[in-house]
Structure 1
Amino acid sequence: MSIAPDELRTLGNPTLLQRPKTAFFCSREYPLSAERPTFLWAMEQRYRNRCVLSGFHSRLEQTVFRYLLQGEQQPIVYVLGRGIQPNLRLEYGPEIADNRLLFVTPFEPDVRSITQETADIRNLLIAELAEAFFVPYAAPGGNLEQLLLSEAVRGKPVFTLDLPENQVLLAQGARVWHSGVLGNARGAGT
């Protein structure tokens, strides 16, 4: 799946698409041990002013989104699994006006709810737009694991947490993310 830029509907600052972007995905159900290091990762993204790209659908993704929004200069690309609705401009007006938030979707405004099909399309679009991935946890055999095996992700760096539950991801080639600026500075990461 490849969507031409002119087929995307946007609300916000489209120049954010030109920045290097790290996709953030996490399965809906995840081990609690993933929360603290994920929050540390989010803090580093804010500190380094790195553009984060996500559908912000799972509970952990939504929590990270709310945290990132608090950063005055934090660039965020939010990819929707439905059309852009009028309330987004009202709800996120200051962030849009500050040119630090972009909503992107391949769907028309009359697509008002997220289905498995629209979520899959959204996730593929995120994968195509991203240069790197941070996945604190992907459930074995789940949709996210399948996405990470797709052509859209192939050849792009995928970082995850060093958790026993992530052995499948690590065996598939994901690299362990190490905290840099705010942690132990043992290695690079996204």
Structure 2
Amino acid sequence: MHSIGNEALLDLRKVAFLCSRKFPQEAAEKAYRWADAQRLAGTCVISGYHSPIEKEVLCRLLQGNQPIIIALAQGLNRLHPEWERHLAAGRLLIISRYAQSVSHPCESKCYQRNKMMIDLADTIVIAHASPGGSLERLCSDWAGKVTVL
């Protein structure tokens, strides 16, 4: 695993947050309320922050001070400039299974990234898993760890 940031965050209790790319509006509303609550509670959330809901959850979490882990499905070569101050503050860790030469995520890389996050997390929160999709298949293997919003 490759990383940038505060590796001590891996020792914290972590909640993995995932959501399919296609989702009903009520899933988004629940996810945003959940993210606001996690920010206030100081929960360490790990996610790929890749789908539209996951991206908005990251925006909400970055408004707080709690630890955040971002798991990429590509190399650590393209980081968002806004992340710099959070890295400097020691509240952010960015991880990847992939070398810097891997520049674009694909479905199989996203699946492997999600599996890595689930392995690292203590609990898993799913905003929405599309029926028959890869997220639904992945979570079926971890039913005891999964909570659906």
TM-score (norm 2): 0.95
Q: Is the 8 A contact 1:55 1:79 kept in 2?
A: yes
Equivalent of residue 39 in structure 1, options 32, 38, 53: 32
> What is the match of residue 130 of structure 1?
121
Two-structure CA RMSD over aligned residues (Å): 1.3
Percentage of identical aligned residues:
37
CA distance in 2, matches of 1:155, 1:37: 21
> What is the match of residue 130 of structure 2?
139
Equivalent of residue 48 in structure 2, options 43, 55, 78: 55
CA distance in 1, matches of 2:139, 2:81: 34
Q: Which residue identity lines up with residue 79 of structure 1 in the other structure?
A: A
> What is the match of residue 159 of structure 1?
147
* Structure with the larger strand share: 2
CA distance in 2, matches of 1:113, 1:23: 22
After superposition, the C-alpha distances for 1:50-95 in whole angstroms (9 at most, x for unaligned) are: 0001011110000110111111x1211000000101x527441110
Find the residue that maps to 2:79 and give its secondary structure. Answer: helix
> What is the match of residue 95 of structure 2?
104
Higher relative contact order (CA 8 A, sep 6+): 2
CA distance in 1, matches of 2:34, 2:70: 18
Q: Which residue identity lines up with residue 47 of structure 1 in the other structure?
A: L
TM-score (norm 1): 0.75
Structure 1 stretches of at least 4 aligned residues deviating more than 6 Å after TM superposition: none
User: May I ask how many residue pairs the two structures share in their alignment?
Assistant: 149
Q: Which residue identity lines up with residue 12 of structure 1 in the other structure?
A: G
In structure 2, relative to structure 1, the CA distance for the partners of 1:89 and 1:41 (3 Å cut) is closer
Give the greater-gyration-radius structure (CA). Answer: 1
**Structure 2 unmatched ranges of 5 or more:** none
